[in-house]
Amino acid sequence: MLMSSGVSDAFLAVSASASSRSPTPPALATGRRLFSALLPPSSSLSSSNRHFGPRRRLGRRSSTMAARAAAQRLENVDELIDSVETFLFDCDGVIWKGDKLIDGVPGTLDMLRSKGKRLVFVTNNSTKSRKQYGKKFETLGLSVTEEEIFASSFAAAAYLKSIDFPKDKKVYVIGEDGILKELELAGYQYLGGPEDGDKKIELKPGFLMEHDHNVGAVVVGFDRYFNYYKVQYGTLCVRENPGCLFIATNRDAVTHLTDAQEWAGGGSMVGAICGSTQREPLVVGKPSTFMMDYLANKFGILKSQICMVGDRLDTDILFGQNGGCKTLLVLSGVTSLQMLQSPSNSIQPDFYTNKISDLVTLKAAAV
């Protein structure tokens, strides 16, 4: 099972207040009722997707955010570590950049483990499965188990599992191998992915593109083989297949494919499908609370005893805040100190520091 009964029950409870008067199969009806729970707060439902039921706000992002106190520079490391049972770490920009390990990471993780802290690595990158990420950690000299990895590729499959998505329905994937592997492990039929990367559409008078009417969900993630064929195929499924779900692994604007610069992220692929379908996606990755709810239930921990460590304000830090956790921003990735302290920034973490190895160096300096 990819999803504990506790998580499934939690999601069914969320959907209980939504309308049950739907002619669609129970599982897809459940998916519709859950759709709005994972929407970003700024989204609005167009006439094409009103059938998904009442919109719910995601987490705690509200007008009170503007009143949040400015982030404090991390100084009392012992106090933070003692108050936390589980540390959630983003990967890109926190643990590594591209294929290069960030300085001081191994010693920091060893120190936290020696204190009995649970470590979980939460990434919005869907290009790899948990098993593939395990190999990357190993290549970088880090000992991390598959159970400690939670990628958005797995989140997509886990979400489908949690709503009892019909096994006789198919999933069309705009994304890479990680999503395919997690769907396969969950027992779902899929099509698309890298295989459609070389396909082209020959536009000529009267040409009509066919698509599989048995596709019940379109999952969109980061895709280096993105093309017009995939845009059109996914669009047809979402617009023409009754009850078809539109699921995004994440909406990150940029990503770290190399340590030399930032690259266009999965949000650009998701945005293309939003534009052509006039639909907002159900987002399973950060800052959606789905991943947090899953982890809290899986490990049986209080969210107040979790600290989310990340380099992005609008995904990592907001994810922690939406989930009711402590938050620590590191300046080793996307967010600079100038961005954090900008008057236009309303997302303030509890603490910030340069990189996670400060948990060791600041602790040593205080002795």
Largest pairwise CA distance in the chain: 76
Is 85 among the residues known to form the active site?
yes
Cα-based angle 309, 312, 316 (whole degrees, multiple of 5): 50
Question: What are the helix (H) ranges across the chain?
Answer: 5-15, 26-35, 77-82, 105-114, 130-139, 152-162, 177-185, 228-240, 266-277, 290-299, 318-322, 337-340, 358-366
Closest-CA residue to 158 (of 292, 51, 252, 265): 292
Angle (CA) 282-284-285 rounded to 5° is: 130
Distance CA 246, CA 239 (A): 10
Of 79, 85, 176, 210, which residue is the catalytic one? 85
For 139, 181, 232, 338, the CA distances from 240, given in Å and listed in that order, are 44, 27, 12, 46
| Owner of token pair 């990420």 | 133
If we measure between CA atoms, which residue out of 360, 361, 330 comes closest to residue 73? 330
Q: CA 365 to CA 70: how far, in whole Å?
A: 24
**Bond from prior residue into 287 cis (ω within 30 degrees of 0):** yes
CA distance 140 to 44: 42
d(CA 185, CA 82): 37
CB 337 within 8 A of CB 331: yes
Contact indicator for 327, 74 with CB cutoff of 8 Å: no
Nearest to 240 by CA among 209, 267, 284: 209
Name the residue among 362, 319, 363 with its Cα closest to residue 120: 319
The residues annotated with a catalytic role in the active site are 85
